[in-house]
Amino acid sequence: MFTLVGGKAPATSFLRHVMPLAVGALCLWILQGQISSDTFAGLGTALANLTSAQWISAGLATAVSFWALGRYDLILHRHLRTDCSPRQACASGAAAIAIGQTIGLGVLSGALVRWRLVPDLSLAQATKIATGVAVSFLLGLVLCLGLIGVLFPSDVLSFHQGLFCLFLFCSFGLLCFLYPTFRLGRAILRGPSLRMLGGIASLTLIDTFCAGVALWCLMPSDTALPLLALMPAYMLALGAALLSGTPGGVGPFELVLLAALPGIPQAELLCGIVAFRLIYYAIPFSLAALLLLRPFAPLAHSDICRRNLHERDLRKAPRAEIGLCRQADAGVIASRHVSLPVLRPGQSLCLLFAALGGAPEAALATLKKQAHREMLFPIVYKADGRMTAVATKSGWRALHVADDLVLKPSEFQTEGRAYRQLRRKLRQAEQAGLSIERGTALPWKELAQVDADWQARQGRARGMTMGQFCPEYLSHQDVFLARLKGRVVAFASFHVSTDEWCLDLMRANAPVPDGTMHALITAAIAAANEAGVPRFCLAALPPERGLIAWLAAKSGCSTGLSQFKKSFNPKRSPRYALAPSWVQLAIGLGDLLRAVRRPNRNLAHNHHENNEFARARGV
């Protein structure tokens, strides 16, 4: 079968590889017309006059610059979760850039070098890393131009131009926070985290500054060119060289520097460029070529592994609410001592509720280590008091975010003054002819209609840490139905584990008899008692005091839900959000809030068209 895309692919590939060479040839032709023959005649003398101190200083600056360049790869490896060692990532990255910037076609040559040097890396992964390094460097260069334009405005780069560059960089960071994943054709791409952007920005500042210093050190001493005057011109020339894709940036780099520095004699400027190419291109290229002769050995397995979330994990979970992971694209990170159910809402690696096994100390250490590896912020959401005490002792920050409402099914009763409201509601439901049953073969069409009616009144269901209606999701829960004259008018679902049941969804048509939800919960508590479950959780409410309580009151959170849950006379169990710093805690909670209010619609969805879910997939 022939397609238009398939027919044009060879021509497109040919143009993509030939165009940089054509651009370089054109720039060299223009450059030859602008430089007199006397300039080339004096070039050898100017190079001979460079001192040893200039060469050594430029060499040291080049070494620091390539140290930063290699760490770009380390960031990209962590972003892609390749488990490559830092030594291999940095060395292969520096070698790939040294070869790519010299021979041109940086993404293609860089991918092949990385693929050759790192045996555990596939060609697809190497290409992703090479592309990511190129894009991230250009992004960091925008930040560098912005900073130098704002702090040191000049004729080459004005204050307003610098301000515009800073605006572009900050806008990109905001978009990455608001839209951590996005669809490009059929592919779903994961954007850089804020922590990754910060690392890229820092490395780009170091890299470009040191490379500029190397060029400045090699300028003849009689040029008297200030470093801050050279920097914006060098950055613009570097950007032109990268965008052109010519071997070594030859042509565009020289043209931009000559145009941006008209006050510098051409012979002196070309002397610095030629010397710079020797120290910054030729020597790193030679060292990288030697490195290619002997690739790295395969790595041993990491001490922390990633795996799918299995049903056996959830059935034995210490907190039944961990069942929310079924709909939140969650996975498990595990070490020898601990297993953690984690979410990645965008900027953070979030431990949800509690570890599946292991001590709190090991859980926090593993979470922090893996978050660092993935360039994310570690956060724990709804930790119990024990983990919170361990975390705060280790310097983590804690915020009281919710109270779980917990009761013991074996001690539950409806007698006494504390249950007066509950008894009244149960009588009203009974008088209305409401019947409660525990679902076995669930009537999915009726439940879907109840959910659709509820969403029409309440607004679209939220996600991530809040359950949504989905047959596949509910099939793992215990569901109780309320019928009126044989028709399902309401239902409630519960996460189930060995030690706990936890309320998840409550859905009802309008109107339903008073006490309908009270009757559903009471029937579920009785069933949990029959099953010998020691703990029953009515999910969470905002705390009664503190920042979250004030925010909940300001946002107009319904008091009806609070009164409903309190009618069962549960005990409050405080839950906390934890992070190593207040900044990370704020970013992590903002990340979760965005994911709750705007669930990721790029993830796979089941046949119920109004809701989309991720299966428990690999991480």
Please state, in angstroms and rounded to a whole number, the distance separating the CA atoms of residues 321 and 317: 9
Q: What letter does residue 192 receive in the DSSP assignment? A: P
Q: 62-84 burial, b for 16+ CB within 10 Å, e for fewer?
A: bebbbebbbbbbbbbbbbbebeb
pTM attached to this predicted model: 0.78
> How far apart (Å, rounded) are the C-alpha atoms in residues 380 and 342?
9
Which pLDDT score, from 0 to 100, does residue 549 have? 73
C-beta atoms surrounding 438 within 10 Å: 12
Cα–Cα distance, 122 to 418 (Å, whole number): 64
For the chain, give the number of residues. Answer: 619
Report how far residue 358's alpha carbon sits from residue 98's, in angstroms, rounded to the nearest whole number: 45
CB 129 within 8 A of CB 112: no
pLDDT at 29: 47
As a whole number of angstroms, the distance between CA 244 and CA 253 comes to: 9
Sequence-separated (6 or more) residues with CB below 8 Å from residue 182? 188, 189, 191, 602
> Rounded to an integer, what distance in angstroms lies between the CA atom of residue 148 and that of residue 235?
10
**Among 341, 323, 345, CA closest to 332:** 341
CB 582 within 8 A of CB 420: no
CA distance 206 to 218: 19
Instruction: Kindly report the backbone phi and psi dihedral angles of residue 563, in degrees, each rounded to the nearest multiple of 5, phi listed first.
Output: -65, -40
Token pair listed for 69: 């360049």
C-alpha dihedral sign at 410, 411, 417, 419: negative
3-state secondary structure of 41: helix
Smallest CA-to-CA distance from 233 within 177, 192, 276, 172 is with 276
CA distance 568 to 247: 74
Comparing CA positions, the residue from 264, 280, 277 lying closest to residue 220 is: 264
Which stretches of the chain score pLDDT less than 50? Answer: 1-17, 21, 24, 29, 33, 601-619
**pLDDT for residue 334:** 83
What per-residue string of b and e applies to 556-595 under the rule 16 or more CB within 10 Å gives b?
A: eeeeeeeebbbbbbbeebbbbbbbbeeebbbbbbebbebb
- The first and second tokens of residue 613, run together, are 């879910």
How much is the pLDDT for 575? 92
Instruction: Report the pLDDT value the prediction gives residue 308, as an integer from 0 to 100.
Output: 78
| Per-residue model confidence (pLDDT) at position 396 | 95
What does the pLDDT read at residue 300? 62
